[in-house]
Chains A and B, each alone.
Chain A
Amino acid sequence: MTQTPSFRDVEKLSAYLDGQLKPSEIARLESRLKTDPELASILKDLRQTRGLLRRLPQRRAPRNFTLTPKMVGQKPPLPRTYPAFRFATVLATLLLFFTFATNFMAPLARTAAPYPYGRGGGGGGEPETMMEAAPEEPALEMPAMEEPAAPETPEPLSTPAEPSAEDSTGVEPTVEASEKSGVQEAPSGDTFAQQIPDEVPDRSPAPLISAPVQITLASIAILSALVAFALRYVAIRKWRAKAK
């Protein structure tokens, strides 16, 4: 007896081709195949299609798909000193930034006090304490807050030892820079200066952090960055040479 093959039969035939049927199923199907030409024809078609697919030529890969260390995010082994130099660079840069910030903040604090400022030069009151104080900002704030409290006692320092607190335009203060700051501050300073022209001639804010400290910090930052870069460069080159 033959019956119209259903999709279920096709599924069975397909699995039969791949040897995926149970022995009992195989026996049943094979006996049906003998009596059902339509089923046998489907099996032939499926086998032929399967045969065709298997004849599909295998192409060669157009290139090598090997992975590079960069692709998998592998990094060269860096020397142990590398993080130390990198840390030094970051720390020195941060400290340098703090020195600028501190020096910049000091005159701002003074503006609240009713005494003139604005001329370059003078100051340099306590430069020797700066070395120790540099990393601790709160300590630096102290003199800034204290000074306005005693504005009537001008300090007798008249030699323009250090340039005043500049804006953070450069590491090494120049005459130009101090002139520039003088010009910028003129609107507020001038009126006072006219009122009391000679009383406190060289009254100007002492830079809380002196230039040598800043230069030292900048040098440390640049040098450690260069050393770190050199270490990294050498390590990468060695690593690449080894990989090849």
Chain B
Amino acid sequence: MDETALILEAQHGDLDSFNTLVLTYQDIVFNTALRIMGDEESAADATQEAFLSAFRAIKSYRGGSFKAWLLRTVTNACYDELRRQKRRPSVPLEPETDDGEEMETPRWLADPSMSPEEAAEADELEHAIQHCLEALPVEFRAVVVLTDLQGMDYKEVAASVRVPLGTIKSRLARARLRLRECLQGFWELLPATFRLEEEILRT
């Protein structure tokens, strides 16, 4: 059965058809949530919540990219989840100095509890990127995740996060600049093989 037919069935309340769509899209939705939320548990919660609201609101889907529609739902679920977490105290996203000021330098990324060897053993690339993503304000993070990780176009992203197109452009540029700055601080910590790959990528 093709996607359009499945969506139509789901719109008539058929849960089996909807679940077929869930199985098709759950990896994409989970990954989006994971990159926005930062940890698997919250990402799984947001994913489940997103599919639940998607089923409830599926009648409001009026064609277009179903993936984009789902990603809008998961972005909202992530925002809700983050708001919930904010109500409960958690670890701040921005690193702070001893006098409580926000650190500007990305040097904080060099986790003092981790030796370079240990850092190398971890999944460096993913760790570094996730770390830097989490250092971004959530609005920036969502935009960069939807655009660069999920390959959505600006219009779709604008619809997903409900901000004007111009804001998407500026958030994306700012996010990429900050990520670049953050990842540069990480550069030396990355294994040589990775740096080598990057050199190849650079050329």
Contacts and interface: CB of A to CB of B under 8 A. Distances in A.
Contacts of B115: none
Given A54-B148, A57-B126, A66-B23, A14 B173 contact: yes
Point out which of A63, A67, A72 has the most chain B C-beta atoms below 10 A from its C-beta. A67
B144 A53 contact: yes
Interface in B139-166: 144, 147-149, 153-154
Contacts of A67: 15, 18-19, 22, 51-52, 55
A28 interface: no
B11 interface: no
Interface string A43-64: 0111011111111111111111
Given A62-B30, A64-B22, A18 B180 contact: no
B26 A51 contact: no
A64 B26 contact: yes
Contact of B27 (A49, A51, A61): A61
Contacts, number: 114
A10 B177 contact: yes
B58 to A, nearest CB: 11
Interface stretch (B40-48, B60-68, B79-87, B97-105): B40-48
A20 B154 contact: yes
B172 A53 contact: no
A45 B176 CA distance: 9
A49 B202 CA distance: 10
Point out which of B19, B34, B56, B173 has the most chain A C-beta atoms below 10 A from its C-beta. B173
Interface in B86-138: 123, 125-126, 129-130
B29 interface: yes
Interface of B is mostly: helix
The contact size tier of chain B is: 35 or more
Interface residues of A, number: 35
Given A48-B202, A59-B30, A59-B31, A65 B22 contact: yes
Interface in B164-183: 169-170, 172-174, 176-177, 179-180, 183
B201 interface: yes
Interface of A is mostly: loop
B72 interface: no
Contacts of B19: 66-67
A100 to B, nearest CB: 45
Interface in A53-101: 53-67, 69, 71-72, 74
A53 B27 contact: no
Given A67-B15, A72-B55, A56 B35 contact: yes
Contacts of A183: none
A220 interface: no
Contacts of A14: 169, 172-173, 176
Contacts of A55: 125
A4 B190 CA distance: 31
B198 interface: yes
Given A58-B31, A65-B26, A65-B30, 7 more contacts: A10-B173, A52-B129, A53-B144, A54-B148, A60-B27, A67-B18, A74-B15
18 contacts: A7-B170, A11-B173, A15-B173, A18-B147, A20-B154, A45-B177, A46-B177, A49-B176, A52-B183, A56-B35, A56-B125, A57-B123, A58-B31, A63-B44, A65-B22, A66-B51, A67-B15, A72-B52
Closest 7 A/B residue pairs (Cβ): A14-B173, A53-B148, A66-B19, A61-B30, A11-B173, A49-B180, A61-B26
